Structure 1
Amino acid sequence: MTAREDQTLSAVEDALSGGSLTDLRAVLGPLSPADVLSVLERLGRKDQAVLYRLLSKDVALQVFEGLDAPLQSDLLSGLRDDEVTSLFAGLDPDDRVSLLDELPAKVAGRLLRGLSAPERAKTAEVLGYPHGSIGRRMSPEHVAVRVETSVADALARVHAHLDDAETVYTLPVVDAGRRLVGVVSLRDLLRAGPHEAVGSVMTAAHWVEATTPAETAARECADRKLLALPVTDADRRLVGLLTVDDALAVLEAAESEDAARAGGTEPLRRPYLSTPAATIVRSRVVWLLALAVGASLTVQVLDAFETTLEQMVVLSLFVPLVIGTGGNTGNQAATTITRALALDDVRPRDVLRVLGREARVGLALGAMLGAVGLCVVALLYGTQVGLVIGLTLLIVCTLAASVGGVMPLVARSLRVDPAVFSNPFITTFVDATGLVVYFLVARAVLGL
């Protein structure tokens, strides 16, 4: 947050705490919608509703559209029914669907019934696609032009739909059956002669089917650096467009979810400061309980090798080193492969190639760390203990990297989020197996 934004937030909070709506309106007056959005995301639910009601109608709609769907749902609970109906009607169909997913069924049904027939039909079309598909994130409000249409007529059509189309910078080109045959940019239309056919200036189209997972389609749009990606049905008939801003929002949400689950928590899906403490607790407690149960494996391993520890107490000093190094190595591999999966650099069928590569990487890392451990520990506790540590780090790093690299691919094959199988679970698994390796090596080397 910049110094100016911090000053603005302080002024808003002072006006709210003093109960002075006049002062609050004076603070909000010169702010842009982006500035208001930044402030709103850092306030509690009650203060959000107070601040929002002081905004002008145009600014209010822009701010509302910029909020995440869960935060939109929170805000609606503090507004009057007529305000809610007006805001809902002003959203694009895809944004309405995202909001409806956050609302109780009774409220969602009432809002849908309040729409005009054409807007209700557009919203119902998007609602008809499966959860998680790009059909629910596309915009049905687009300008399509026919392949045989003249450039002049195409530009006239664009001009007629400037107020109701999601974007006009990329135009899908269709045939008489509304099947996608290409795309044409507004720049190319303006450059072409007025009597040329659109088909003569269009280019080949990249497209996705409406049932494609949203993250996959968004990645396609971002990787190809497209302003808009046509969305079709199974017969390649045009049904909507995925715009670049919606694609980036999908990717941001997916990456936030992966990062949260890799850290052992559920994504908050709303700004941190506007999230109730109880919600944060719920997002963390289940994972902590699951990991606590998993950590009991480590206790069982220590109990099984209690005799070994009694015979060589010095071995207990290096337990944190062994499990920490193994967990970190596994986490590095899992994070790398999870990210590679998201970017489509690797696929589940590459599991053997990934296993071989990560085993080599783990072996190299283990050799380097093991050599350091051998030298340092040998100087302090003797050659035999140093050899135990060196060999253990060599084996544990190789095992951890291999498991960490393979588990996200296995998760994808099982249609489970790879991040779920990432850092927390791999750490727990490697802790237990690392200790087993450690004590078995100690028994073999020390003759215990």
Structure 2
Amino acid sequence: MTIHTEQLDQLIDRIPQQLESRELAPITAELTELSSPDLVVVFEHLSVQHRAMAHRLLPKDRALEVFEALDPALQSDLLTALQAPEVAQLFAELDPDDRMWLLDEVPAALAARLLSGLPAEERALTAGLLGYPQDSVGRRMTPEMVSTHVGTTVAATMQRVRDRLADAETIYTIPVLDHGRKVVGVISLRDLLGATDDTLVEHLMQAPHTAEATLDAEHAARLCVDLRLLAMPIVDSENRLVGMLTIDDAARIVEIEENEDSARQGGVEPLNRPYLSTPVFTIVRSRVVWLLVLALGAALTVQVLSAFEATIEQVTALALFVPLLIGTGGNTGNQAATTVTRALALGDVRPRDLARVLGKEVRTGAMLGLLLGCMGFGITAVFFSPDIGVVIGLTLLAVCTVAASVGGVMPLAARAIKVDPAVFSNPFITTFVDATGLIIYFLIARTVLQL
């Protein structure tokens, strides 16, 4: 049953009190009636202890369903709070690729215990995924899939699908292999259902889109999403099938990466868990590093102002425009960085396109600066003097050009040196442009005003 947001909020407020007072019967009835998405929302708002207590009140099947839907960080917290038998059972019921998300969150000692408690077959499947690099698609693929072979009929392939219905994670896209397990094509379940039993699959298969298991998970996921594939075969270096990346896992990877980019562009590290379930210390840790970096950058800006103190004393009106100029420069750089970072993520540009991106951003920044500079000149000339208007107009032109150029180039430089482009985005660029913008401003003022 799905309930309204207001009713859900009331339930979330009531559950901790009922759990503390051991009113278990009424709360069990209410939790059991909720839909799984609503239960996930409830669990995200509970403390670790209350989450564990509520989880124990659910029927076994519902408990597993809700556990699978939780963020890996919350799954880790829940495993820590539950008793050993419950932990082993929940972990064993997960699909191998879902186990990898969880193993990346839990402490190493707990991960070893979880793996040792798995049945031999499941432990072998999970250990195979652990052998791939940390951020590779090999750790996000599922080894539980259905495949068929060249020369196999539709009837035989459909029987293979039926035999694997209970344990295969995806059956809608089926890789077609040659005798060396190399992927030579894919066939959809729709095409199988629409063909006669004696048709050979090689007559129905399409050219495959594959990704190597060591490829970066984000790159493979975006390829899967952009091509609108229900599942993509994952292969080894010799094009042999090792797993499948399903569309739900691909979308999950893309969402996580976009959340990380968004957080870092705002000057914080990603929380990787719901806000209300995040400890205060974790939030502080995610913000303090960037605050220190920005404080150092602000100190650099102060040094620039100090160096041009004599210039400001001669024409005090110059100080009035400092916030306008550094704010405009920072915003221009941030816009360019956000655009290029997004283009990098989508594969629209690559580090080798640096010269083309720089040329485009120089022109873009110059056009923006010309528009803003003309406006700034007109307004400043009326309220102050034509000379001040010329200084402001030229500064806006120069600052916008420099800011757009730096903002466009830095994400590409970051990718070239294997650093997250989002790290070089808004906070860093704002600090850089503040200092350089002030230097440009006062040098233009000295020249035009002959100070």
Is the structural similarity TM-score above 0.5?
A: yes
Deviation of 1:219 (Å): 0.6
* Structure 2 equivalent of residue 241 of structure 1: 244
Contact 2:76 2:102 in 1 (8 A): yes
Contact 1:407 1:421 in 2 (8 A): yes
Counterparts of 1:98-113 in structure 2, within 5 Å, are 98-113=101-116
> Share of identical aligned residues, percent?
60
Contact 1:12 1:27 in 2 (8 A): no
Counterpart of 1:109 in structure 2: which amino acid?
A
For residues 384 and 184 of structure 1, what CA distance do their matches in structure 2 show?
Answer: 72
* Structure 1 equivalent of residue 263 of structure 2: 260
Counterpart of 2:13 in structure 1: which amino acid?
E
* Structure 1 equivalent of residue 39 of structure 2: 36
For residues 58 and 3 of structure 2, what CA distance do their matches in structure 1 show?
Answer: 23
Counterpart of 2:9 in structure 1: which amino acid?
L
2:292 aligned with 1:289: yes
For residues 191 and 15 of structure 2, what CA distance do their matches in structure 1 show?
Answer: 51
For residues 21 and 313 of structure 1, what CA distance do their matches in structure 2 show?
Answer: 71
Given candidates 310, 315, 338, the residue that maps to 2:341 is: 338
For residues 15 and 382 of structure 1, what CA distance do their matches in structure 2 show?
Answer: 67
Contact 1:15 1:21 in 2 (8 A): no
Contact 2:12 2:45 in 1 (8 A): no
Deviation of 1:294 (Å): 1.7
SS of equivalent to 2:175? strand
Counterpart of 1:379 in structure 2: which amino acid?
V
SS of equivalent to 1:193? coil
Given candidates 59, 68, 77, the residue that maps to 1:56 is: 59
Given candidates 136, 142, 167, the residue that maps to 1:139 is: 142
For residues 105 and 411 of structure 1, what CA distance do their matches in structure 2 show?
Answer: 30
Counterpart of 2:302 in structure 1: which amino acid?
V
Counterpart of 1:411 in structure 2: which amino acid?
A
* Structure 2 equivalent of residue 45 of structure 1: 48
Counterpart of 1:14 in structure 2: which amino acid?
R
Deviation of 1:12 (Å): 3.5
2:206 aligned with 1:195: no
SS of equivalent to 2:168? coil
Q: Deviations over 1:20-66 (max 9, x none)?
A: 22221122121111110122112222221121111111111111111
For residues 340 and 259 of structure 1, what CA distance do their matches in structure 2 show?
Answer: 14
Deviation of 1:144 (Å): 0.7
Counterpart of 2:372 in structure 1: which amino acid?
L
Deviation of 1:11 (Å): 1.7
SS of equivalent to 1:184? strand
Q: Deviations over 1:198-221 (max 9, x none)?
A: 111111111000000000000110
2:188 aligned with 1:185: yes
For residues 168 and 182 of structure 1, what CA distance do their matches in structure 2 show?
Answer: 15
SS of equivalent to 2:187? strand
SS of equivalent to 2:239? coil
Counterpart of 2:8 in structure 1: which amino acid?
T
Deviation of 1:228 (Å): 0.1
Counterpart of 2:49 in structure 1: which amino acid?
K
For residues 337 and 431 of structure 1, what CA distance do their matches in structure 2 show?
Answer: 20
SS of equivalent to 2:4? helix
Given candidates 69, 72, 93, the residue that maps to 1:69 is: 72
* Structure 2 equivalent of residue 423 of structure 1: 426
Deviation of 1:3 (Å): 7.7
Paired positions, count: 447
Deviation of 1:134 (Å): 0.1
* Structure 2 equivalent of residue 12 of structure 1: 12
Counterpart of 1:242 in structure 2: which amino acid?
L
Deviation of 1:359 (Å): 0.6
For residues 199 and 3 of structure 2, what CA distance do their matches in structure 1 show?
Answer: 54
2:440 aligned with 1:442: no
For residues 372 and 71 of structure 1, what CA distance do their matches in structure 2 show?
Answer: 52
Counterparts of 1:347-426 in structure 2, within 5 Å, are 347-426=350-429
Counterpart of 1:81 in structure 2: which amino acid?
A
SS of equivalent to 1:36? helix
SS of equivalent to 1:143? coil
Contact 1:8 1:27 in 2 (8 A): no
Q: More deviation in 45-54 or 338-347?
A: 45-54
SS of equivalent to 1:231? strand
Counterparts of 1:110-129 in structure 2, within 5 Å, are 110-129=113-132
Deviation of 1:307 (Å): 0.6
For residues 438 and 102 of structure 2, what CA distance do their matches in structure 1 show?
Answer: 48
2:275 aligned with 1:272: yes
Contact 1:15 1:23 in 2 (8 A): no
Contact 1:5 1:35 in 2 (8 A): no
For residues 12 and 324 of structure 1, what CA distance do their matches in structure 2 show?
Answer: 43
Deviation of 1:188 (Å): 0.6
For residues 200 and 42 of structure 1, what CA distance do their matches in structure 2 show?
Answer: 53
Given candidates 156, 159, 169, the residue that maps to 2:162 is: 159
Counterpart of 1:360 in structure 2: which amino acid?
R
Counterpart of 1:162 in structure 2: which amino acid?
L
SS of equivalent to 1:59? helix
Contact 1:363 1:394 in 2 (8 A): yes
Distance 1:50 1:13, change over 3 A: farther
For residues 227 and 316 of structure 1, what CA distance do their matches in structure 2 show?
Answer: 59
RMSD over aligned CA atoms reads 1.1
Q: Deviations over 1:195-254 (max 9, x none)?
A: 111111111111000000000000110010000000000000000000000000000000
For residues 254 and 95 of structure 2, what CA distance do their matches in structure 1 show?
Answer: 20
For residues 419 and 335 of structure 2, what CA distance do their matches in structure 1 show?
Answer: 20
Counterpart of 1:406 in structure 2: which amino acid?
V
SS of equivalent to 1:131? coil
Contact 2:16 2:46 in 1 (8 A): no
Off by >4 Å, runs of 4+ in structure 1: none
* Structure 2 equivalent of residue 86 of structure 1: 89
Contact 1:12 1:24 in 2 (8 A): no
